[in-house]
Amino acid sequence: MGSMQKFSIGSLSVPDDNSPLFIAGPCLIENRAMAIETAEELQRIRQELGVHFIFKGSYRKANRTSGSSFTGIGDTEALEVLAEIRESYNMPVITDVHETKDVTHAARYVDVLQIPAFLCRQTELLVAAGESGLAVNIKKGQFMAPDDMALAAAKVVQTGNNRVMLTERGSSFGYHNLVVDFRGLVKMAESGYPVLYDATHSLQLPGAGQGVSGGERQYVMPLARAAVAAGVDGLFFEIHPNPSRALSDAATQVALADFWKNCQTTAPPPPVRALASFTLKHHTLLEGFQYFGMQPSQADPSSKIDQALKAVRALVFPVDGVLNGSRITFDSNGGELCSISVRDAVAIKEAMKQGIRIAVVSERDAEGYRPLLEAIGVHDLYLNGENPLYSYDAFRLRHNLEDEECAYIGDDIGDIAVLSKVGLPATAIDGVNYLRNRVGYISGYEGGKGCIRELVEMILIRQGKWPYIEQVEEEEER
């Protein structure tokens, strides 16, 4: 496989090894109120989970099953709604184009142009989209072999625009049915372009609904988790405040109220290009499957890491390298500018809620973090420059904890003394090599970008305390 094309869409990096990309929104801009309601929810999810969104909405549907089906509220009116969402929520937006004449008009309002699956071989349309200078998402045709998508991408790239993504959305399987061949995700990735999986259109039953497309929404999440396991760079969902009343693709769109839960169960793992690399990071493949919906009872109960996770009653980590990502910035007056990843902050609060004690240490004066940490409920703070080992021991003795009941996330040589004592020594993926070869757990995330969140989730899942396990089970039962 060649090197992966990397590019930016606004402030988003594509692909981003630290956070999966979601393209999400209604099938069609039915009205402004519905679109704004959807964008509001995506904004809330983005703030709580730290995931990245591109807001999706077709301004016109030119390929409805029946000529009598609703196609839109008017091109300019719908595009203006998309532009409003982009400006109001600082969120990139994407829409599909069907003819070359659509490209110039739509490009003024959006950040990404999408080529519909039926049109993925249309040379003039692909070239026009490339010449717009915008990023281009090409849906794989239901009739296309996955390795042939590199030829479609090349038509865009020949214009000098290499900001191309490919999206799997199922292959025709007889009449009125689609099937997903997950080998295709790997084959498309070998082209060197970022690959996404369309979790909703892949489950359409084209034309099977008496003039409209049917669908099998109940399989959306199982297949989405399978795509994440296969190593996609992002997921595509169509969502709607009230799918049963949607004017397009009502059978497959996900209910807006359920979408936070769907993001929660697919967002945790970093994109993985090979299961082998995932196995190295998470010790055994069984343990890695925890991320993709496996419940604790299905994991290997005898593994050393499993026992260590179950024993944890306290988690300790340093400010520098783990909480702040090795970045120290100052304002014009020399004061330190302090911040905490939203993803990590949510995990810290959940850990304490579930009875896991949290302590934060620092070998330098890091008192600037005290107000932030106290605001999320952390009060075991050792921020005045003491040796981490002294701070850790003081914390452990204060709460009558055994070393085997403690986890510590370190990222540099100064953390070795503590890591050698605790029951669960861990490091971020960007920790120094010396630590990576010696700890029991290596996070798939960098310091300051979710490594705390990942370890907290693993601990709580193993202990049966992760609050979303029951939600996942209920979703699968439905």
The 10s digit of each residue's pLDDT in 304-344 is: 777 889 999 999 999 998 998 766 776 677 777 788 888 89
Distance CA 438, CA 425 (A): 9
The predicted pLDDT at position 468 comes to 59
Q: Would you give the DSSP letter of residue 141?
A: P
Q: For the chain, where do the domains classified as CATH 3.40.50.1000 start and end?
A: 297-469
Distance CA 10, CA 172 (A): 35
Distance CA 149, CA 172 (A): 16
Q: For the chain, where do the domains classified as CATH 3.20.20.70 start and end?
A: 7-266
Q: No. of H helices and E strands in the chain?
A: 18, 23
Given a contact cutoff of 8 angstroms between Cβ atoms, the answer to whether 241 and 34 are in contact is yes
The predicted pLDDT at position 311 comes to 94
Distance CA 271, CA 189 (A): 12
The predicted pLDDT at position 476 comes to 40
Given a contact cutoff of 8 angstroms between Cβ atoms, the answer to whether 418 and 392 are in contact is yes
Q: Give pLDDT < 50 ranges for the chain.
A: 1-2, 268-302, 469-478
Cα of 49 vs its chain's centroid, Å: 9
Nearest by Cα to 309 from 425, 229, 389, 396: 425
Q: What is the CATH number of domain 7-266?
A: 3.20.20.70
The predicted pLDDT at position 392 comes to 95
Distance CA 72, CA 69 (A): 10
Q: Which fold has domain 297-469?
A: Rossmann fold (3.40.50)
Distance CA 131, CA 94 (A): 16
Tens digits of residue pLDDT in 267-315: 544 333 333 333 333 333 333 333 333 333 333 444 577 788 999 999 9
